[in-house]
Structure 1
Amino acid sequence: MKTPTERFWGYLEPTLKSIEDVVYVQLSDGDRIDRLLADSQSQDVYPGVFVIRPKYGGINENSGTLWHLFHTTAYVLVKASLSSYEDQDEAYAQAEVIATKMSNKIFQDSLESKVYFDFNSYTAEPVEYLTTDAAWGYEIKFKFGLPVNDLYYP
């Protein structure tokens, strides 16, 4: 039996990897970006999407389908020059395109009832990532659900 988090990542990882220009996709080990920091030392992680391990809960709308609703936080980051505003603006734009493609794919899957997408929960906030690298992008937050009837009605 797959855990809810394994199902979450089993859906989201290939979705993210299918987005053009994304070279790195990773799930956190908790609620921090330690894996991103470690991976950036030995591999190219930009443009990349780093996903925080989600909090989740149940939804039962009495429709016959039980859902786990995942509270998702993802960082879409693109490397840019510290000394060039134009380069930074291009990084923001590329990150925004990636984030939009991600949400569009999940939305399209929700139209086919593969997932539940709470579009009202979707937010995109500009961020700077200035630690070992200089990167710009967006912190994306949204809720989406996956059917879990088989976990509760085996």
Structure 2
Amino acid sequence: MAGVTRYRGPAPRPRLIWQWQDDAACRREDLVLFFGPDGERQPERERRERKAKAICAQCPVRNECLDHALAAPEKSGTWGGLNEEERASERRRRQRRKTPVHVVEVPDDKACGGCETVKPATDFYREPRSSDGLRPECKDCTYEQRSQAEVVAS
């Protein structure tokens, strides 16, 4: 293959995926500040993490860094201003936010299953598992049932 020149340097990184790292405030910092040495004691770890988080707080790509750490998921070190435990908590929070919420429309009025009178919805206790989000009996009937149960029990 005469005349062909081969590139002998490191393979170039994909610019679009990792470009945020080029602008990171931690780029020229010592890695030990963000990942810590083995056998590090709690007081030293807290001081080191405070310093790392101070750098992250000034970083222009903090959100991209955190998003990467949560998506990867990075298990150690300080990424996007959060340590391991904080990232695990944030990951769970984001997962809960993705979970659909079951919304029940509560009617304005409802017929009580106990006294059979129509009352405003505010006169009923909430029951998330019911189709309308309310208990079948009004608060008065529920109170009477509990009172009668206490008399029988004693």
TM-score interval, normalised by the smaller of the two chains:
under 0.3
Higher helix share: 2
Select the structure of larger CA radius of gyration: 2
TM-score when scaled to structure 1?
0.28
TM-score when scaled to structure 2?
0.28
Higher strand share: 1
